[in-house]
Structure formats: structure tokens, C-alpha cells
Structure 1
């Protein structure tokens, strides 16, 4: 069987889908790296909502996807950017997601870390930003999850310089009951975070970021760097205090960063590991045995798909992630909170399908083909 797919030039091309998926099996947690997948949320397709309405979430399907990730040994990074935090999922929805996912993690023995931000306020003074962070930190800690201190749009707007970041983060780290992960999310993921850490100069921003960690090394489990700049991540990684981990958030260069070099390596907290979960798990298990080449052989071919999903505007990568979850059978529909399913073009979806199919990511290639043809028919492409 073949399928006709549109290219970027608008012309149709013929593609022959594969008939068998990649053979992967669930397994235990990893020994050589700590690996989190930032997980998406599944919308309720029957909710009568508009793009401006609070998110309507299909909780059963959302939690089932997290069980899928845990079954392969991955940790779940919850209520993060991949879950459309600040792009369809408001704080009320995120709080419910944290409560439910943390309870599910306890029930199945899965590892979970949850995003702590300030999205219950649009803007405010530094005191109001601190209070917003504190409210969310308390909820995450009460749920029993590890906290990930996310970058804050409100703090970016309120801060007048590096000293304000040092004060706010220092205050939060002193309050944290357990070591947290600090997340530096670049403006390619959220334009409102331009100049984070008090400077648009990345060298100066890096110095402030590291100053925060150096002042409280016992309260920082690790950092997540999402700047899509491999060398900068390596440079930061080499300057971290002993015992503080680097979790790569670089969806362009993750194989080389996780594999590491003679001076160290990165762990992982990645949105691309949502669609790549089983394959990524198999690759890390090769690394657990010391087989670096086997790890690279499995993971290097996935970079093309990741770079496609995360192409500019990068913040809309969530659309491709949910699209692939639908094709893979993890949800029954292609609907997203905030109507974000409309954020990418049909040629973009067609290329994502072809790349994912080529990697063997679909457990049922026939189902994926049928769903792709259904989407194509909506756009007027008859097979």
C-alpha cells in the first residue's frame, strides 16, 4: 500500500509506509543516566470550549500516556512546556494535572518531577512573583513530586537586573524541602523569556545562573538547559558544582550531549522523548551496558524528526508531539487544548508522519497510515 503526501512545494508525492514497527519492550529504570520525558496532555474532544476557555483535559487518556512512559523506565516531567503550560493549560489545569499525575506515580512506582512557575499571575511585583512561585512549590511538594523551578514570564518582566533573579531564586531555594531542578528555557521556546537571568548577553546570563547554583548547591539536584546550543550546555555542565546534574533540554543535539565526553555527560529532560519514549529507552539501556556506539546508532537517526518538530516557531512543537501520539494510538483524536492542532501545516504533518514511520515509532503502522489518510481527506487529499 502507498499513501500520497503533500510536500512543502504543494505537490503530492507517493510514500510507501513500513509494515512492522521497531521491536522494543518495556523495562526497568536506567542505571547510567536519569531520563525524564516531558509529557503532553490529551484534550477532551467533546468539551464545548473555545481557544480562550480553561483547558478541558481527558484525564484517563492523559494518565494512560504517563503509564506508557513509566513502563519503559522513563521518568515523567509533568506540567512543563510540553504539556502546553502557558499555551492552553492554565495554572488551575496544571495544578490538577500535578495532583493526578503524582498520585498515579505513587500508585505505579514511577518517577515524577513537576513544573513550578508563576502562571497564576500575568504580571506583578517581585514580591507577587515570589508568592506565586511559593504557592506552586508548596503544591508540588505536598504532592510528593520533585520540583522543577521553571522560568517565569512575570519575573522576566518585573526584574530590573541579575540581582533580582539572585534574590528570588535564593529565596525559593532556601524554602525548598528537597533539591530542585532549575530550568533555563530559551526565548526560542517562549519569546517572553528574552533576557532571562538579567541580561540578553548569554555569557552574562550564564554567570548569573551559575551564581544562583553556587550559592545553594545543596538545594539544586540539577539544571535543565533548553537553549538549543550544544557547546554552551557543555560549557555550563563543566562549571557546575560537584553533585549538580545537567539535564539536557536540547532537542537538536541530545544524542551527543547524553553520550558525553571525557569530561562528563548530560542526563535528559526532553520533550522529544514524548514521541520517542520506547526507542529512547532502548538506546539508554545500550548506554547502561557501556555500548556508546549502540546508543548513537539508535538515537542519532531520530534527530531529523526532532529538528523537524522543533523547527521555528519552536514553541509550536507540541502540535507535532500530539499529532504523533494520535497516529501511534495513544489517543483517539487529534484535538489539543487551546485549539493548538491548527498551529502547523499539512506538509509539516506529512513530513512528521514519514519521518516517524521510517523510524518505526508507530506500534501499529496500519493504524497510523489510516489516521494519516483520514487527516489528508479532511484537507481534500484523496488517495
Structure 2
């Protein structure tokens, strides 16, 4: 299918920038995506025309801001195919969303209970459950991966048992790009009556998500990885769970009544949203998702697959370069090491050529240990990247190889 990447790129003002006289080649999308002009405009419009706190005001600005803010919640509910808008909880990001669930789970776990995660977790989907288990005296189990970075499905299923109370895993590995068979993983976890959270931070920008079809109990993602602003995230959860889930933060907005001796919590979704929110960011998130939903998802997927295929082919032919993470099912990430030098040096020298990648352990330090590397260089692709930019990456790596020889 045709995909007009130039028309997409024209909507992202930062992509016209130069770095040290070189055109910007932005390949750090797994860390954060760039923002289209409509999202930038949404932020400016809020502060320019209706800057006000939401829900509480009795004046025109507050009413306009509230309608835009709650309209964004409706957009997210539609995007995720939620049963009700009350299932959408605004957070500060994926990390905060997972912490809300982990804090509540920690109050429910008891000695003998088990929580299952995988070897490919981002720290936010590992440390949260690790600490919850420590506080409760429960056990954290780790489902292994193979050397290609794929979850070992037989081992995963064998770890599930009647003691398994909660299972969490990424839709897509941020460090390797591995695309997990999440619908099957969810079904196997539900077969032992475990609750399931999907870390959707890396998967959300690569296609539609239907939480009803998936069958999970919680789904978390960050706006900034979906062409929206930083500082905003979403926790989707089943209404019957969220309605009684232990509150994490307390304060304004999340209460229905309060005295000096006690307090009563508000109804969903507000009972899990304490304090003044990132109003401009939420409004801009709604705009980002509406912009994304208007794209041809099949053409988008084909374009991104072509980018990764070209990068993989060139990487495999590049002498002295080794791909880290060669799963058969991958999305948007090429992680690698080079004989020529440390990933940090590779990143620095590419930056001097205007090419932005990420280096290090990618907030997945235990995973790097499992794979026997201190870290990797990671190029990650999005809808506005081009095949010419993939070529530029490998031309840049050729120069890096010569400089470090």
C-alpha cells in the first residue's frame, strides 16, 4: 500500500532541523516520538484561550477547559475500545500507571503468592512488582527468553500455576523490538485466574489496540511515545477492578467528602486521579490520538516493516556489527553492538553527523546482563522515517567504523 511519508514529515516541524550543518535523522523513537504541528497547536491553544483548572470552576474558561480535557478521555476510550470512559485513568506516564497497579496489588498479595514477569522487562515493569512482592512476602518469577530475545513460551506456561496472582509483560520490548504474542500470553494467564497487565509503552504507536479483544485487565502507555506530550500517560483497567482498587495518591479531586477524621473516595475515574492534572498535556494527547487514528494503519504497518527490513538487511551485511535481538516477530527497533567501539562512542560520532540514536542499557539492565552485553546502540523507527534515513544510518556507521579503527 502507498504511504506518503513526505506528507507525514511536513507535519513535524522539528524534522526540518539541522544538527551541525547536517539534516536531522531522528532514530530515537523508542525513547520518545516527535510531535506533529496539531499537537503543538493544541498546547498553545489551551494556554492562549482557556487556561483554567478543570472540573471545579464556575466560569467560562473552566467549562471550556473541562470539555477539552474530558473530550480527550473519550478519545482514548474510543482508541482502546474501552467499555466505558470511566476505565481511562490519566497518569504522568507508563511508569506511574504501573505503579498505581503495583501499589494496589502489594496490598492484596500474601506470602506464597506469585507474580510473573519476563526477562525482557523495562525497569518500570520489573522493579514495581519486585518491590510489591518484597513488601508482601510474595515471590517474583521471571519467564526466560532465548538468545534471539524471544519469550520461551513453554517455560512461561510452566511457571503459571494456582499461586500466580498477577502477570505483567511488554507488548513490545523497548530494548530489542521483540513483539510478544500478548493475546495468547493473556489467555494462558487467565486460565489460572491471574490478573494481567500489558506494558504498551512501545507497542501503542505501531497500530490499533483493542483491550476487549486482548482480554487483559490493565493496559498502560505514555502519550509521548504516541506523538503526544511528555508527562501524560494512561492506565486502562476493567471498570469492576478500578472501582475498588486501592488508591495510591490522595488529595484534591479524588475525594467525594472529607472531614478531619476521615475521607470518602470519589467515583471513577477521579478516585485514582489526585491533584491538578497536566491539563494542556491531556488535551494535546487527545489531539495526538485523533491525528494517529486518522492514518491508514495497514499502510503505516507496511511502511514501518519496510524500514526495519532494510535496516536489518544492511546490519546483517555490515562487517563487525552484531544485531542484539533477532526475534522473528519484531517492531521498530534495531539494537546492535560493533567491534569497532563502545555504544556510547558510536552514538556520539553518529550525533556529529546529525543522526540521533540511543545508547546504553535502555532501562533494561538485567536484560543486557542476560544477553551478555553492557549495553547496545539502538536505532528505532517511526512513521515519519524514510528508507533514505536508514541508508544514512549505515553510511554514518561506516564513518564511525573508520574513525574508531
TM-score normalized by the length of structure 2:
0.29
Greater helix share, structure number: 1
TM-score normalized by the length of structure 1:
0.31
Greater strand share, structure number: 2
